């Protein structure tokens, strides 16, 4: 009986010893305490919200989710105490919790994606990919205009129905972009354009975004144009077209000038083609109605002049009137433009 009691005591001691060994192995801190828990600070910011746990233990994998509300912005970085987090999917980021309190910081940047066309609004297909930075001597006047069109006549939504934003302010500052200029009938718009002050821009690649909120048709769309800013004289020459211009000289004017040598000069509007080679067309006019073919930079404005040289060797200009405008062109005296090839525009003179 005594031997049985001793055996039972020995077995009990053995079980207790094993339990102690296992408990010691499970003691990760070496003193029986659980890993310490530290706080996580992750504040929301302008244009984004952050979802993160309030605390975590040393060594835990922490998941942070960032949601961006501005469609033009994207997450550039997420850090935990300055260390980069690992990007996952659907705006999630992870890091391993250190043995200290953590502050999560989020940095946003603008998206760098070209969107040329939406259902309602689109950039004109002839909008170039490059513009030139102004030479110092041209700083007082040099500019460049880019255009967009609506698929149908559009009524904007209130005062904030249209905005233009530079997505690379270090290349094209916001103050280099003028307010949108509209064409259309009153409150209804057909197209718009943006004047860029090229004296304020810097070399590099930039993106320009136009957002439209309209009530008729109802829409909220954004288009984005990529523009490379290059040195003056380095702009790639755009496509040229051969277009037809018909000059009609009225009877009363013809009686006065038929004995003079008339010159029709059609030359590129340098305000719209800053940094590009000159493109001009000069014609001697000997008939009351004359058809000429001009070399034309696709989509740009050209200035039109009809003149003669008087006895004092001074140029005497003959005014021009808007008359016949083709489906693909526009004549706003003294400027004309073609938006599609194979067009023609009629110009008429006036005494007024």
Entry field: residues in the chain = 352
Radius of gyration of the chain (CA): 36
Mean pLDDT, to the nearest integer, of 59-68? 96
- State the pairing for strand pair 218-230/73-80: unpaired
Task: Extract long-range pairs of 322-330: CB within 8 Å, 24+ residues apart.
Answer: 322/348, 323/248, 323/347, 323/348, 324/246, 329/243
Q: Is the pLDDT reported for residue 254 higher than 70?
A: yes
Q: 87-122: buried (b, 16+ CB within 10 Å) or exposed (e) per residue?
A: eeeebebebebeeeebebbbebebbeeebeebebbb
pLDDT (tens digit per residue) in 267-283: 987 656 788 877 889 99
For the chain, what is the mean pLDDT? 88
pLDDT (tens digit per residue) in 303-315: 999 999 999 999 9
CB-based contact 328:340 (threshold 8 Å): yes
Nearest to 200 by CA among 277, 144, 239, 160: 144
Q: Is the pLDDT reported for residue 2 higher than 90?
A: no
pLDDT at 32: 59
| Total Cβ atoms within 10 A of residue 191 | 17
- pTM of the model as a whole: 0.68
pLDDT at 24: 45
Count the helix, strand and coil residues of the chain and give each as a percent rounded to the nearest 5.
10, 50, 40
| Interatomic CA distance for residues 194 and 145, integer angstroms | 5
Strand blocks (E) in 197-239: 204-216, 218-230
From residue 303, give the alpha-carbon distance in Å to each of 94, 266, 272: 60, 6, 11
pLDDT at 1: 46
């Amino acid at each position: 009986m005594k031997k049985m009691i001793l055996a039972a005591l020995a077995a009990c001691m053995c079980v207790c010893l094993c339990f102690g060994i296992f408990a010691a192995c499970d003691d990760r801190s070496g003193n029986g305490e659980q890993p310490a828990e530290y706080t996580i600070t992750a504040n929301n910011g302008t244009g984004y919200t952050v979802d993160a746990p309030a605390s975590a233990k040393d060594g835990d994998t922490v998941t942070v989710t960032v949601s961006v509300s501005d469609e033009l912005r994207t997450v550039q970085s997420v850090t935990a105490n300055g260390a980069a987090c690992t990007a996952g999917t659907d705006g999630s980021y992870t890091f391993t919790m250190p043995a200290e309190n953590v502050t999560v910081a989020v940095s946003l940047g603008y998206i760098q994606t070209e969107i040329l066309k939406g259902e309602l609004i689109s950039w004109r297909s002839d909008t170039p990919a490059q513009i030139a930075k102004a030479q110092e001597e041209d700083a007082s006047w040099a500019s460049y205009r880019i255009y967009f069109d609506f698929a149908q006549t559009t009524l904007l939504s209130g005062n904030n129905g249209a905005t233009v934003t530079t997505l690379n302010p270090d290349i094209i500052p916001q103050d280099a972009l003028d307010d949108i200029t509209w064409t259309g009938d009153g409150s209804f718009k057909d197209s718009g354009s943006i004047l860029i002050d090229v004296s304020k821009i810097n070399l590099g690649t930039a993106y320009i975004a136009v957002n439209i909120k309209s009530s008729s048709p109802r829409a909220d769309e954004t288009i984005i144009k990529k523009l490379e800013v290059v040195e003056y004289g380095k702009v790639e020459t755009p496509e040229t077209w051969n277009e037809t211009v018909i000059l009609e000289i009225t009877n009363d004017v013809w009686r006065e000038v038929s004995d003079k040598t008339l010159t029709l000069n059609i030359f590129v509007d340098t305000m719209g083609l800053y940094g590009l080679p000159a493109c001009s067309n000069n014609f001697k006019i000997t008939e009351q109605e004359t058809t000429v073919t001009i070399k034309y930079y696709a989509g740009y404005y050209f200035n039109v002049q009809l003149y003669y040289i008087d006895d004092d060797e001074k140029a005497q200009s003959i005014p021009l009137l808007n008359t016949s405008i083709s489906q693909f062109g526009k004549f706003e005296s003294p400027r004309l433009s073609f938006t599609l090839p194979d067009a023609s525009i009629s110009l008429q003179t006036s005494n007024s």
